[in-house]
Amino acid sequence: MTLHSIACHDRDFTQWRGGADHALIWAVLADVDDVRAAVDSARAHWADVLLPRYDRQPHITVGYGGPVPKPGATPEDEPYTPERIDADRAAVEALGLAPFEVRIGGWDTFQMVPYLRAEAPELQAVARALREDRRRPYVPHVTIGLYAVSAPLSELAGRAAGWESPSIALPVTRLSLLRYDAADVAGPLTEVDAIDLRRPARTPRGTPSG
């Protein structure tokens, strides 16, 4: 059976968020010139099959937290409470990671999004600590955009032959807790907290609030 891409829709998924205003993820921010250029180049190459808008900064998700708690909200996913945030932070800090390097390059795809591959054993370790692979294998990546069409994945992959893949070394010194608008599937990310790999002390950047 031929696998096809899944056409996404740029809309508010109200049932999923159940009135929650924001959601949180743990990620490595990859918002640097080389990665932005690679994402822009790939978006241009596959532009006719992608939704026109994808405003999220380049990043590598290592763990999905969940919706920010809000009185009266009934999201489908478990709210990401301060207690859960503290437990996940402790699990990551217990790894004792030092700054590391991620290699970014090469095109690949899921059914809903094409992406640039990202490789580093530390990413896998953090994902395990955050239980990111509990339902499916964890594949670190930098999302290029969201598919707007349903097409055979083999045809979409065939286009990679005409695109020059980058090879980027991304230094990582922090793991970021990022917030996004739950009503916006392609909206920007805001860092609200972080784990600084250069020192053990906490480096808060704000209070995750709904």
CATH number of 14-196: 3.90.1140.10
Residue 153 vs residues 112, 121, 147: alpha-carbon distances, Å: 10, 27, 11
Taking 3-state DSSP, the helix, strand and coil percentages for the chain, each rounded to the nearest 5, stand at 25, 30, 45
Residue 207 C-beta-side C-alpha neighbours within 13 Å? 3
Q: Give the whole-angstrom CA distance, residue 159 versus residue 70.
A: 44
Question: Is the C-alpha dihedral spanning 154, 159, 164, 166 positive or negative?
Answer: negative
143-199 residue pLDDT tens: 999 999 999 999 999 988 889 888 999 999 999 999 999 999 899 999 999 999 997
Let me know: does 193 contact 179? Beta carbons within 8 Å.
no
Q: pTM (2 decimals)?
A: 0.91
How is the chain split into domains, by residue range? 14-196
Residues of the chain above pLDDT 90, percent = 86
Give the Cα-Cα-Cα angle 108, 114, 116 (nearest 5 degrees). Answer: 55
Average pLDDT, the chain: 93
Q: Give the whole-angstrom CA distance, residue 122 versus residue 99.
A: 9
Minimal CA–CA distance to 168: which of 142, 206, 134, 150?
Answer: 142
71-97 residue pLDDT tens: 999 999 999 999 999 999 999 999 999
CB atoms within 10 A of CB 40: 12
How much is the pLDDT for 2? 86
Average pLDDT over residues 37-52: 96
Q: Give the tokens for residue 84.
A: 């859960």
